[in-house]
């Protein structure tokens, strides 16, 4: 019977050991935010987190900062990073771009922790900082009725650059729409600009209703936007600005 007693003596201490809590899901972090900003712009970034020790009665801590060869005007910086702590799984943070053009890395360190453990995941988002090009289009209403809620869409090389709504253009008045377009990855050479004035907002330009689309070109000749490049664009804006929008009032048929 002695061998049996030895076996029982080995088993009992193991049975008395406390059971370990099951491990949670690993820490997962995703970042959403602008990949292009203008100098000095404040961008909003969304950091989504889940998993890790924080799932077991713990908290998440997010630290974030800007890194670049020249961080003049940027914030926060590594020496004094931004920080948020809580049990929420989505963090909204503001990051200010440097006051000059270039490329920056926005670093996000997320710590998932509880009273017994912690783990950290780092995410880096590269952001291009570029001076914007201002696109402006003005339209005159030479009709006899006011035009309301005209959607103006700007395209560069057939890609939508942005849109604005002109709330109202009274007869004989002029309405203007302006957007700031960030020229990310703009190649050297000729580029096409198209501006559409969509009175009814249905996405279709119908000249019989006074809706118009105008076209022009500009050129990029240097590594970065140069004064000549901006002057050419200004000339295009003037050409677009003298387009006359003949406003037709849509007659509503009542039954």
What are the tens digits of pLDDT across the range 167-224?
A: 998 888 888 888 888 988 888 888 888 888 888 888 888 877 777 888 888 777 765 5
Taken in order of first residue, the domains within the chain and their CATH numbers are 23-129 (2.60.40.2410), 133-245 (2.60.40.10)
What are the tens digits of pLDDT across the range 55-113? Answer: 999 999 999 999 999 999 999 999 999 999 999 899 999 999 999 999 999 999 999 99
Rounded distance between C-alpha atoms, residue 47 and residue 212, angstroms: 42
Q: Give 88's Cβ-side CA count (13 Å radius).
A: 10
Could you tell me if 184 and 102 are in contact, meaning their C-beta atoms sit under 8 angstroms apart?
no
User: According to the model, what pLDDT value does residue 142 have?
Assistant: 80
Rounded distance between C-alpha atoms, residue 143 and residue 244, angstroms: 10
* Longest CA span, the chain: 112
Q: Is the pLDDT of residue 165 over 90?
A: yes
């Amino acid at each position: 019977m002695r061998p049996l007693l030895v076996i029982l003596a080995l088993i009992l201490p193991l049975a008395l050991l406390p059971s370990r809590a099951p491990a949670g899901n690993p820490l997962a972090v995703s970042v959403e935010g602008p990949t292009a900003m203008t100098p000095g712009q404040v961008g909003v970034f969304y950091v989504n987190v889940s998993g890790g020790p924080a799932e077991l009665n713990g908290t998440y801590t997010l630290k974030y900062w800007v890194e670049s060869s020249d961080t003049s005007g940027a914030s926060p910086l590594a020496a004094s990073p931004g920080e948020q702590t809580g049990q929420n799984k989505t963090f909204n943070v503001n990051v200010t771009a440097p006051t000059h053009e270039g490329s920056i890395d926005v670093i996000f360190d997320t710590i998932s922790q509880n009273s017994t453990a912690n783990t950290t995941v780092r995410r880096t988002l590269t952001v291009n900082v570029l001076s914007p090009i201002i696109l402006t289009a003005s339209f005159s209403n030479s009709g006899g009725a006011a035009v309301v809620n005209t959607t103006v869409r700007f395209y560069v090389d057939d890609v939508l650059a942005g849109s604005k709504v002109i709330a109202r253009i009274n007869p004989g008045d002029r309405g203007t729409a302006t957007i700031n377009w960030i020229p990310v990855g703009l190649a050297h050479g000729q580029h096409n600009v198209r501006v559409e004035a969509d009175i009814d907002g249905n996405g279709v330009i119908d000249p019989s209703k006074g809706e118009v689309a105008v076209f022009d070109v500009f050129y990029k000749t240097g590594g970065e936007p140069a004064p000549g490049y901006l002057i050419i664009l200004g000339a295009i804006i003037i050409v677009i600005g003298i387009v006359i929008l003949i406003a037709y009032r849509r007659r509503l048929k009542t039954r």
